[in-house]
């Protein structure tokens, strides 16, 4: 096993936490009930998202460059192209594809309509469960991965429940 | 300073603090990644030669075997003696008088 393989695993662990923080902050930033000024919560969400993208990029680049796992660049972008733990790797590949699309549309937000950007951005919600499923299916050689996935799940679920509970009902009279 | 200007200044300060904080978090995340990598890397075998250590380290033997010549017959009697000093090299003597 090479150093690249260990970097792959460590970037996956820290990246999972960063993705969880990114989604949690995204949920909180979009909530009308949040007491934090929106410009602050959105800036924090963007910064953490940049960190998560950097860690995921490092994870993908190192796993593809490492000869320990026989993966090609095609395997890293096309789901089910890899033979190594095909289902778990495909879920991770799908997550990377979603992340690329969401990040690209966020960078091009000024050139898109708000409706189009929001529609694409909401698919980012799928990114987080994909990342957790990928970690649980592929990261089977280390117990810490399960704890990290569990630790990342708690704030996301708490934020989602809080937002669902604080959102006004459709029929509410204001 | 008008209220609009003061609000803009407060917003800039808040954003600067936010970026500084996230910068620190980013450095911490990179440090955590490095620390986890270091913890995951398995220790190298002790006998592996390094650049400074060109000569291989001889493995110590727990016992030495001495073949003592027999005076009554040609058959050698093998005596296993405990190694009594670290300076003593393993000795293996065979033969008959």
Taking an 8 Å cut-off on Cβ atoms, the answer to whether B36 and A43 are in contact is no
CB contact under 8 A, B36 and A40: no
> Cα separation of A51 and B30, whole Å?
10
Residues on chain A touching B32 (C-beta within 8 angstroms): 10, 14
Boundaries of every domain in chain A = 3-166
Helix axes A114-122, A86-107, angle to 10 degrees: 160
Q: Is B88 helix (H, G, I), strand (E, B) or coil?
A: coil
Residue B85 has pLDDT above 70, yes or no: no
Residue in chain B lying closest to A44 (CA):
B18
Mutate to test the interface with A, among B13, B17, B19, B29 (most CBs of A within 10 A): B29
CA-based nearest distance A27→chain B, Å: 18
State yes or no: ipTM above 0.85: no
pLDDT along chain A (174 residues), means of 10: 86 93 90 82 91 94 88 85 85 93 92 92 90 90 85 91 74 41
Whether residue A98 contacts residue A90, with contact meaning beta carbons closer than 8 Å, is answered with no
Distance, in Å, from the CA atom of A82 to the CA atom of A76, rounded to the nearest integer, reads: 8
């Amino acid at each position: 096993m090479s150093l690249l393989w260990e970097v792959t695993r460590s970037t996956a662990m820290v990246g999972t936490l960063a993705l969880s923080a990114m989604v949690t902050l995204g949920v909180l930033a979009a909530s009308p009930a949040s007491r934090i000024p929106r410009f602050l919560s959105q800036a924090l969400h963007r910064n953490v998202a940049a960190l998560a993208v950097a860690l995921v990029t490092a994870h993908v680049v190192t796993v593809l460059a490492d000869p320990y796992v026989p993966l090609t660049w095609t395997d890293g972008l096309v789901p089910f192209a890899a033979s190594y733990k095909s289902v778990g790797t495909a879920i991770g590949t799908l997550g990377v594809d979603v992340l690329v699309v969401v990040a690209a549309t966020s960078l091009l937000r000024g050139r898109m309509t708000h409706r189009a950007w929001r529609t694409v951005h909401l698919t980012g919600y799928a990114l987080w469960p994909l990342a957790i499923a990928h970690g649980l299916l592929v990261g089977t050689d280390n117990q810490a991965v399960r704890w990290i996935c569990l630790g990342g799940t708690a704030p996301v679920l708490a934020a989602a429940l809080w937002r669902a509970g604080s959102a006004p009902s459709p029929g509410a009279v204001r | 300073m008008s209220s609009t200007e003061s609000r803009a200044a407060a917003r800039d300060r808040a954003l600067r603090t936010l970026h500084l904080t996230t910068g620190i978090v980013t450095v911490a995340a990179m440090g955590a990644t490095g620390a986890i990598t270091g913890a995951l890397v398995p220790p190298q075998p002790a006998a592996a030669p390094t650049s400074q250590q060109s000569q291989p380290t001889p493995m110590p033997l727990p016992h030495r075997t001495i073949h003592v010549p027999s005076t009554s017959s040609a058959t050698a009697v093998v005596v296993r003696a405990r190694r009594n000093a670290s300076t003593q090299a393993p000795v293996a003597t065979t033969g008959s008088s």
